[in-house]
Amino acid sequence: MQWFYLRHTPERLERERVIVMASLVVPDHFSATEDAETLRKACQGWGTNEKLIIKVLGHRNAAQRKQIRQAYEQLYEEDLVKRLESELSGDFEKAVYRWILDPVDRDAVLANVALKKSNPDFPVIIEISCVHSPDELLEVRKAYKLRYKRSLEEDVAAHTTGDIRKLLVGLVSAYRFEGEEINARLANSEADVLHNAIKDKAFNHDEVIRILTTRSKAQLRATFNRYRDDQGTSITKNILVEHPDDFSVALRTTIRCFNDQQKYFEKVLRNAIKRAGTDEDDITRVIVTRAEKDLKEIKEGYYKRNSASLDQAVAKDTSGDYKAFLLALLGKEE
């Protein structure tokens, strides 16, 4: 009985809850050395045994992947990441490369890639800022400085202008208070501020940006709920109706990430799958970054809203090793 009680501490329950929502399937037995040897074998000789790589890496969590990299380095005096980069190609290589990095390092890379595009990919920056806890975001900023020798906000500022810059720099620089307490009076007054700003034809963004980039997440959700109660419609809908422009897209993305990130990611996947074309960046990003977090829940949401399984949709839209890898992360058993 004591064992049972100790098993269910709040921390453990939280950990188990997160594990339950993850889609990644990890075997019970793990040996970093064995895995390193397997991967070495997969890369030796002519060609590469991609299936073996997927079998190993597609079923290891972040801590295990880190140990595998270390074991590989010790055994073969070579960086596993670099080896894989040279052996693999295309979408499969991009996906494996992102997958094998440490999560915070990965986000730093994703942010940098997003900024360097000729049309910077703002949703990526917004996602990273909104979906993490304040301390996790801080770790991403540290990782970014380490890798690129510039601060994240420095690069975001350099690749944006105007109000988009104000919004994105504010989002990445925030170190929000993490309490669950909300001030109802403040939620009320700031819901009014948002309402007045949106209603106004000129739509001065400064107050909206101030609220979105500084308030705690709990306070923001309370404010959005209050807005919906007062106005009868969601704030994102009103922004869309009153001001259908590019900046508003960024605002709505931000609000949706705060309000319901699973629904947001499900929509990103749905749009990416619908889109004709070869750019799989969105699909890779969502699956790789959420596989250990809440991809299972995203799958369930996807099924509910589309009456089709996400696995099947991804399988139809992708091919080859890339497809096999994504399906592994989605939880497909061997």
Partner 1 sequence: MIIKPGTRKRGDDRDEAMAQSDELEALTKAFSGHGVDETTLIAVLGKSHPEKRKAFRKGNPQFFKEDERSFERWDDHRIKLLKREFSRFKNAVVLWAMHPWERDARLMKEALKDGPDSYNVLIEVACTRSSEELLGARRAYHSLFEHSIEEDVASHVHGPERRLLVALVSAYRYEGTKPKEDNAKAEAKTILNVIKSGEKKTDNEEVIRILTTRSKLLLKAVYKDYQEISGSNLDEDLKSDSRLQETVQCLCTPERYFSQVLDLALEIDADKSTKKALTRVIVTRADVDVKEIDEEFNKMYGVRLTKKIEDTANGNYKDFLLRLIAKGD
What residues are designated binding site for Ca(2+)? 45, 47, 87, 273, 275, 277, 315, 317-318
> CA separation (Å) from 316 to 92, 283, 285, 308, 323?
16, 13, 18, 12, 9
Q: Which of 15, 44, 177, 245 binds partner 1 (CB under 8 A)?
A: 177
Rg of the chain in Å (alpha carbons): 21
Q: How far is the CB of 321 from partner 1 (least distance, A)?
A: 36
Examine residue 185 and tell whether it contacts partner 1 (CB under 8 A).
no
Q: How far is the CB of 141 from partner 1 (least distance, A)?
A: 5
Q: Which of 33, 175, 229, 233 binds partner 1 (CB under 8 A)?
A: 175
Examine residue 165 and tell whether it contacts partner 1 (CB under 8 A).
yes
Binding segment for partner 1 (CB under 8 A), chosen from 18-26, 50-58, 170-178, 275-283, is 170-178
**Site for partner 1, residues 210 to 239, rule: CB under 8 A:** 210, 213-216
Q: How far is the CB of 215 from partner 1 (least distance, A)?
A: 6
| Contact code string over 100-139 relative to partner 1, x by CB under 8 A | --------------------------------------x-
Per the listing, tokens 């009153």 go with 242
Q: How far is the CB of 199 from partner 1 (least distance, A)?
A: 21
Examine residue 150 and tell whether it contacts partner 1 (CB under 8 A).
yes
Separation CA 231–CA 1 (nearest Å):
51
Q: Which of 136, 154, 260, 300 binds partner 1 (CB under 8 A)?
A: 154
Q: Within 13 Å and on the Cβ side, how many CA atoms surround 182?
A: 17
Contacts of 296 (CB under 8 A, 6+ apart): 20, 21, 22, 23, 331
For partner 1, the binding residues (CB under 8 A) are: 138, 141, 145, 149-154, 157-158, 161-162, 165-166, 169-170, 173-179, 181, 210, 213-216
